[in-house]
Amino acid sequence: MRAALLCGVSVLACLVAGSVFVTPAAAQKVETPTVPAGSQMLLESDTLVYDNDKQTVTAVGGVQIEYGGNKLVAQRVDYDRKTKRLVASGNAQLVQSDGTKINSEHIDLTDDFADGFVNALRVETPDKTYFGAESAERIGGVLTTFHNGVYTACEPCEDKPDKAPIWRVKARKIIWNGQKKTVRFENSNFEFFGFPLAFLPAFEIADPTVKRKTGFLMPGISINSKLGTGISIPYYLALSPTYDVTARGTYYTNQGFLGEAEWRQRFDNGQYSLRIAGINQKQPGKFDANTVDSGPDGDPNKLRGMMGTKGQFAINSRWNFGWNILVQTDKNFSSTYHIQGYNDSVHRSEVYLTGLNDRNYFDLRAMHFQVQEKTLPQTSGARYQTGARDEFQPWVLPSLDYAYIPDAPLAGGQLSVNLNARVIRRDRLDQAFVTPYDTLSAVQRVRGIEGESGRLTAEAEWKRSFVTDGGLVLTPLLAFQADANYLNASSGSINAINQMAVAQGVATDMRSSFARTMATAGLEMRWPVLFSSLTGGSHVVEPMAQLFLRPNEPYVGGLRVPNEDAQSMVFDATTLFERDKFSGYDRIEGGTRANVGVRYSGSYANGWTTNALFGQSYQLSGTNSFAQPDLVNVGAYSGLQTDTSDFVGLAGFTSPGGLSASVSGRFDASTFEVRRTELRTAYSGSSPISVSAQYAFIQAQPDYGFPVDRHEVTFGASTRLNQNWRIFGSSTYDIKAEVLTSDGLGFAYDDECFTYLMTVSESRDRVTKEVTRNFGFNISFRTIGDFGSTTSSFQ
């Protein structure tokens, strides 16, 4: 009952807000639709009586009349030849040419089905919207007026057809204009679960069959401690079948008027959109001091705005061209004001060309990463860094990926060719220090070089599998990679690299250009053994081993190679059998390495499945690439930095009832100490309850930028109270920092005509413990519109 009352309050707020769209009554101009030329009226009935004196024709029993795509069904139909009117009675139903169904005990129509009167009728449209009225009249075949009518998009209850729907609009007069595609309500009441919530003198909505129509959309509301309370009113302009505009004005009590507009246009081969937004902030001081939103001391940030555009076009069936570009006055405007489609914490502006044909793939794009953050940019020469990240993001001009796999086998095996190229330009040096943010301490990592660097890489791989009589699968492999590189680094970047080399006691030799090659010969051996049980289950145990012979990685033994695309390093069971375990092309794995493990999968007659993998990697000879210095120390604490790697493994199961669990980890080769682990479990079965839990632990990696252990546990749950109501929640706890970083609770109602969602959540800063509370709700009435709030924040 309390939940229903809460919904009612929210609905009332929606209707009060929507009452601003009340419009005065207006005369209706009607044009009679034309019936297709040559249409004939077909009549079928049990009995047909002609009265020549009265000039009437009466059809009785199972009457069906079809004319111009319209169909009338009744127990009795009387036709007056003088007035040219049809009177249908007895379970009468009129099915119009568009699929709309009108049910009544009495229907009075002209013989062309254009005009008519109906008493005590029910109307069902093709998209499942419903009208009811004491009486109705139709003029010109397009204008229907319902007297003392009811409108809803909720299907009637089968068990209790007289039961009030979730929502409905009762009006003294409802005017449905089939030509203008509008439905107008006069002297109306909005009812929720049968209770009247609001009186609306007059309002108008689009015809339920219309997807696009010019007019006001449902308003929105938002609450934010920095922006204030915001009321948003959108207006939609359907300018043509292929392009439209949505204009939105939002007034914030703290910051003033925000204007937005979005243009959308479709073509036969694609579409694009253009969005602009801007505001003159009234009170920048409401934001945290010395942030992008407020501006630095003495220079408040008032005029703010953005322009964004997205598009994608199919050049032909194989090639696509597109873009996603954001330009704004400052780096956090779109995030602060929740500009739809452009408010991600990291936005990637890009222009791209892609092609796909059979097993060939081409991807060419120019990119720039934009970090939306409130932190002010780093001041040049300041001792302490602010922690800002946006100004250090590179321009990628361009990035190219091409993959080609010939259809015909080569020497009985498969050949694959990959081409990768990238040119990166960065305007500021991105470096990290041993003492975080203190520029006077030693340089620990150089995450990005100021200047420009480029690389062109070509790679070819051939492999073929052989199966012996004993079931052993042998896959020889040959691979060759070559690349050409150039570097134009600033003097500041070279100095930072030199300082890092001195701090680590290694050599440095950053060259302006260099070339590298890497040849690999490999062999993979797998021996899958199938075991079948008497109960119908099957199990496959598969010992595996790989051996890769190759020379040492070129230009290692010091800080010699830029590393832009291979900075991420995760060694676990999923990467154990990778030929090159680096995540990008800037680093190449070298030396002779063996990967050994065993894989298991099982299925049971009762529907359960299990899987597992466990193994280890060995550097047999040559220089271990993961133990060599790197600008970001990518191999440090990876588990591969020693000749005998850490153990890696995973195991999991799934059940037919919806229960699943998995565990993966990396363990010290000598002590079996846990270095990294992740546990997941979830249940989502036939019961109304679904739950999930996840635990993650990553040991400290000081030289890699993580000086302390990371422990985190996450829980989530959802329960469906009945067919329509559900409650859900989640929480995340940082065990190391002893902080509940986030928690949330919500409930929702959804059915065929109405949805309601309410959420309450909190987030906490791991260091300052500052709490941000968020509240949001959304109400959706099918065919009428949505009403709700954006995320609300209270600190």
pLDDT, one tens digit per residue, over 415-434 is: 999 999 999 999 999 999 98
pLDDT at 34: 52
pLDDT in tens, 459-478: 999 999 999 999 999 999 99
Q: Which two tokens stand for residue 346?
A: 């990291």
As a whole number of angstroms, the distance between CA 391 and CA 632 comes to: 19
As a whole number of angstroms, the distance between CA 246 and CA 237 comes to: 6
- Measured over the CA atoms of residue 684, residue 690, residue 691 and residue 692, the dihedral's sign is positive
CA angle (448, 450, 455) in 5-degree steps: 70
Separation in Å, CA 543 to CA 93, 142, 473: 72, 75, 11
pLDDT at 38: 64
CA angle (379, 385, 390) in 5-degree steps: 75
CA-nearest of 588, 528, 523 to 555 is 588
Q: State the fold for domain 2-34+41-216.
A: lipopolysaccharide transport protein A fold (2.60.450)
Residue linked to tokens 């929740």 = 338
pLDDT at 567: 93
Given a cut of 70, the residues of the chain with pLDDT beneath it are 1-39, 114, 158-159, 161, 789-795
As a whole number of angstroms, the distance between CA 623 and CA 518 comes to: 14
Q: Where along the chain do its domains lie?
A: 2-34+41-216, 244-375
Q: Where are the beta strands (DSSP E) in 84-159?
A: 85-95, 101-110, 116-124, 130-139, 143-152
Query: pTM for this one?
Result: 0.81
Contact 177, 184 (CB under 8 A): yes
As a whole number of angstroms, the distance between CA 150 and CA 389 comes to: 57
Neighbouring C-beta atoms of residue 617, cutoff 10 Å = 26
Strand pairing category for 303-314 and 319-328: antiparallel
Contact 59, 48 (CB under 8 A): yes
Cβ neighbors of 785 (< 8 A, separation 6 or more) are 18, 205, 217, 218
pLDDT at 12: 40
Write the burial class of residue 94 (CB in 10 Å: 0-12 exposed, 13-18 middle, 19+ buried). Answer: buried
